[in-house]
Amino acid sequence: MRRLQMMICLVFTVSFALFIGYQVKEKMMADDTPPVITCEEDTVSVSVKDGEAALLKGVTAKDDKDGDLTEYIRISAMTHFINSRRNVTYVVFDEANNIGTLERSVEYTDYVSPKIYMKKPFRFTASEEIEQAIREGLSAEDCLDGDLSSQIRTIWDDSYYSSLTGDYPVTLQVSNSAGDVCQVEIEMTVTEANDREENGKEYPLLSDYIVYTNVNQMIDPEFLIIGIEKNGTEYLYEEDEEFLAGTREAIRIDSKVDYANPGVYTVEYSYTGENASTAVTKLFVVVEEE
């Protein structure tokens, strides 16, 4: 009986020693050290046309047990723009699922902010479905995301009421995936559809109704004149030169643009037709910082 007890104690002791030894070995062999990501430069300059490979340029990863993990580095996140730059976060895992991360700045050499364009005058009749009509003339382009036309927001002034004629402030807004916002504050004109005088007006027709320039860089507003619009019909100088003879010279241009200061300004083109009614077309000029 005593011999059995001694055997049991011996087995227990050996088992306990083996267990302790195994635990010590596991602890010694455990991989708790994350891989380390390094980069040659804190800021990388890329083109908007470059792919992910350009963002990974100069970034390497090493692990004390798994060695070189550079090929496994991935981009986990990119921030919105901050002072024309954005930060990119890199991530890599070793075989023990330890994670290594690194953040650095990205500068785009050819980046430009998204732009909203308008190919039709911001003038509508009270009987139109104005919100739908607005969409037909608006578009937005971005060097990162491409066509953003469907994402343009129209922010109405509290005074706007669709059945009343008049001029109403409207803000057009769109943003890209990097959080950069284009916002243009313009003025919408609502006219009476059955007004005889209104139907007889001959409006100067422009190639664009929102244009962009930089501080101290003037534009030639006369260059945008392409024809005359009367009662919804467009007549172009390049096609109806004889019919429109003398009208271009009679168009008056009143520019309120302050090219020294950023902002959105108005240029008014006015033309008085044979019925003595004066029609005014508005161009909106966005002056931006360089």
**Nearest alpha-carbon partner for 230 in 186, 272, 167:** 272
Q: Which tens digit of pLDDT belongs to each residue from 79-136?
A: 998 777 899 999 999 998 999 999 999 999 889 999 999 999 998 887 667 777 778 8
Q: What number is the average pLDDT over the span 138-161?
A: 87
Domains of the chain: 36-108 (2.60.40.10), 115-288 (2.60.40.10)
The residue ranking higher by pLDDT, 289 or 22, is: 289
CA 33 vs CA 25, 29, 63: distances in Å: 17, 11, 8
Smallest Cα–Cα separation from 209: which of 270, 268, 259, 144? Answer: 268
Nearest to 73 by CA among 63, 61, 89, 84: 61
Q: How far apart are the C-alpha atoms of 281 and 206, rounded to whole Å?
A: 8
The answer to whether the predicted template modeling score (pTM) of the entire model surpasses 0.85 is: no
- Rounded (10°) CA dihedral 134, 137, 138, 141: 170
Confidence of residue 262 (pLDDT cuts 50, 70, 90): very high
For residue range 23-63, list pLDDT tens digits in order.
544 555 555 789 999 998 889 999 988 888 999 999 999 99
